[in-house]
Structure 1
Amino acid sequence: MQILRRDSLHRGGFAGLRETRLIVDNKIGGKNDTWNGLGSFIYLADARFLPQGETHMHPHRELDVITVMLEGRIEHQGSMENGKSMQANQVQAQRAGGEGFVHNEINPDLDENRMLQIWALPETAGEPASYKFYDLKKDKMVRVYGGNKSQNVTLDSHTIIEVGLLSKNNNVTQEGEFIAYITCGEGILNGVEVKDGDLVRDEDLDFTALSDDVHLSLIYLNTVNEQRSI
């Protein structure tokens, strides 16, 4: 088991955003203090907007951008779903594809918020831009990315991303290689106590929450793309 602790890393950011980057894959210029991803998953940042902070409008192309809201809310502006609002325990997934999109994420409040920013590379170039939105469900792992092309609930990929909002004593298992990020609580992962800000890479996940409202973000590969949960 490998564990990377968020608070051991430099905290940076841009515009109205402050973030700690834990995954910056070599494919996009990662350095020794961050990890490579898994499959198409190439980037993970634990971020907070300053009060009324924003990223300002900027473009993406041939990139999938997944945002997991942990605290507070953001307002989404851009070429897809302009004006949509997100709050804690919701997730949006945006595919830029070959068409591309522009967006700006804004904290409308006078308090900081918190979110996870996850990037993945699409497996097929030139796809149309696409937008997906999810509500987390208590004590369920909700698939927010990955699946086969025959379904339209999630953006297709062999790399699977699931997010769970877990009560105390809730257990999650997953076979094979995985990367997991724990936020907003603590738990036991493969026999080791982990807490908010711990990133783990290992084989065959067995996680039990030790507190209520623990967020578990789980990334793994699935060659058959069977949809465990929606």
Structure 2
Amino acid sequence: MTLQILHRDDLERGGFAGLREHRLVMNPQVFGSAEEGTLPGIGNFVYLADAKFIPNGETHLHPHKEIDVISVIVEGRIAHKGTLEEGNILQENQIQVQRAGGEGFAHNEVNPDNKENRMIQLWVIPEKSGEPAGYKLYDLQQGKVIRVYGGSQGQDETFPSKTVMDVGLLDVNQKITLDDKFIVYVTKGSGIIDGEKVSNGDLIQGTNLEFRATEETQIILISVEDRS
């Protein structure tokens, strides 16, 4: 697959309620249509939005069903309200994963501060319908890449799926590789992929990943595991 690089700031900025966002991934089979310039995703990964909440802004309470919602806090804080883990305050470099399943959940994400924050929201369709609702929270660590979604059945560190998501805080010159199709989103810092410089706000799709950070970098990596 030829390397595709999508620049967030080339896309139209939208939003609703108290947030303003760029949508970079919108699967037309899920949404009926996709905004111009967006990519359809990979595996069961169907949506990515890069959002900034206005000071004290909120999404307002709204429901989800049969979707897994992953929220990566890039800057600032989020006060989480809703039917799962009401009252959590999410800090920068934390990742919240909510499984709606057949049971469903409702949530309202709120900026509790008098300044803008930034959150990346990603959606993945669960492989098995009718699952109970669930909630997980992860902390990033400098110099490490951690699994926050997907993996084999029989473990409970993450919600199982062939579509996997890893998030890393990379040191300067730290490398990550993957011998498969991938989507990467750079949310802080910059690096080199196949000789191409990429930086904050760049979404990259390709095959056989070789990424080297040129400064301290936060990165989201989505791929599909082959268990055949």
TM-score w.r.t. the length of structure 2 is 0.96
Shift of 1:36: 0.5
Distance 2:50 2:71 in 1: 10
Distance 2:79 2:226 in 1: 35
SS at match of 1:7: helix
1:18 to 17, 20, 23: 20
Over 4 Å off, 4+ runs: none
The AA in structure 1 aligned to 2:76 is G
Shift of 1:141: 1.1
Shift of 1:33: 1.6
Shift of 1:190: 1.9
The AA in structure 2 aligned to 1:130 is G
Equivalent residues, number: 224
The match for 1:186 is 190
Residue 175 of structure 1 pairs with residue 207 of structure 2: no
TM-score w.r.t. the length of structure 1 is 0.95
Residue 36 of structure 1 pairs with residue 40 of structure 2: yes
Shift of 1:31: 3.5
Q: How does 1:151-230 map to 2 (within 5 A)?
A: 151-212=155-216, 214-224=217-227
Q: How does 1:80-119 map to 2 (within 5 A)?
A: 80-119=84-123
Q: How does 1:50-65 map to 2 (within 5 A)?
A: 50-65=54-69
Deviations, residues 75-132 of structure 1 (Å, cap 9, x unaligned): 0001010001101100010000000000000000001000100000011010000001
Deviations, residues 115-170 of structure 1 (Å, cap 9, x unaligned): 10000001101000000100011111111100122001101110000000111111
Q: How does 1:130-141 map to 2 (within 5 A)?
A: 130-141=134-145
Gaps of 5+ in 1: 226-230
The match for 1:8 is 10
SS at match of 1:137: coil
Shift of 1:24: 0.4
Q: How does 1:122-137 map to 2 (within 5 A)?
A: 122-137=126-141
Percent identity, aligned pairs only, is 52
1:148 to 139, 145, 152: 152
Gaps of 5+ in 2: none
Distance 2:180 2:195 in 1: 16
Distance 2:167 2:214 in 1: 17
Deviations, residues 165-191 of structure 1 (Å, cap 9, x unaligned): 111111111110000011211110122
Cα RMSD, aligned residues only: 1.1
Distance 2:125 2:110 in 1: 24
Distance 1:217 1:209 in 2: 13
SS at match of 1:108: coil
The match for 2:73 is 69
SS at match of 2:154: coil
SS at match of 2:114: coil
Distance 2:93 2:169 in 1: 8
